[in-house]
Chains A and B, each alone.
Chain A
């Protein structure tokens, strides 16, 4: 009985992977023929959108015509970042004494580059919380950059994915 259950589990896991791989290939193959619901991406180089989206949180989405999303992203990330600075102090974004945190913080873009410090970093709960806030802001901006540079899937792709899923089930 147990062996049967294990085999069934493995089978369903393989099915899930098959579904995702098929969906991914479908998306890749139909990307050139599908019309995107946002501004045409061909006119703006992807690398440029990526750099702008990194430097100014939300700017990538703004360039793609998703202005409401851009406003939410900008306001949220800037508030998170500067709340972190308020909690932890000016020397929080520290390239010398907090290198690992800095790797996450650098994804915030311009705010991080402006606030980068080399002063001696203190310790305490305020510093820890500040690092958490600023790093969260950086990692969220990284997610937004990735979302801006990878074209979103269109409705037709979703329908195809549904069909594939139904077939597999």
Chain B
């Protein structure tokens, strides 16, 4: 039947609508400010050169992990705002462990990655325990933990860091050559390559999909996210699930800084990239917590970041304009999914109505919202926590 096609079209319509709306609002801002709208978009939307393409994929790898970490929480209706702090503590730990090189070669790398995940999980676990045992909102506690992480890492860095030769920057010891993750060649120019961590990120994307959709644990997690009361009734320990979800989220968050650490910086310094956590929230929303969707979202955000860089040089517009686009996407994506969902429901009712008019026996309505339907499923509660309210209105 064409219901599958309709559903696919509706699934694609929502993010497209969100993008168009966000671009329109950004254009409006540019017009009001008196900046050249056409020039901005023609610069951003041109086909990226090889070097830019590699940068986009590399940045997307980092953002992808951040989006995954947030998405795990979203599945449980938990807001892990603390990805920022978690990855900073974790990347610092990994840098120290890998820099000390207690183990040879890739064993050292593996140890560092495990340590990063453990520390990230631990940092998020504080919020998990506070939420589970004391009822503290994880939104507030993770925000506080972000600031504590910043101070803690700055202090520890000053304690154990070595001065980077030839500059004022301080950093951890450099990771030995044998423990770095080799890059993937991307073009004939050996200077242009992709982070080897890309493979690991993709693997975690697969793992995310597998655990959530194909295991008992994943089912419990999603069930708890959709209805706590139903979960309790079916014997799920909600307290345990809350802590577990934040631990997993934190563990993935612990990976966020590692592509840069093992593929580019090789040490944790005072200029290590920050602020990757908040972008992850936007990306998880854009991708509807779907591993493929998150990848598309991450690529889009990385694309906007990279392509806006030359704006200042070419037409004298501040590249910060894309932050307005990105922030607006967060809002429009949620709105447009809701609009499209309502349209879909109305379309379905219309079809059913037509079918009933035509024949006496109503044909069985295809179940639209089974939990494990295809990847383009535009089920409302899949993503945004709090959408539960709106679901009841239409059905």
> Do these two chains interact?
no
Binding site for A on B (CB under 8 A): none
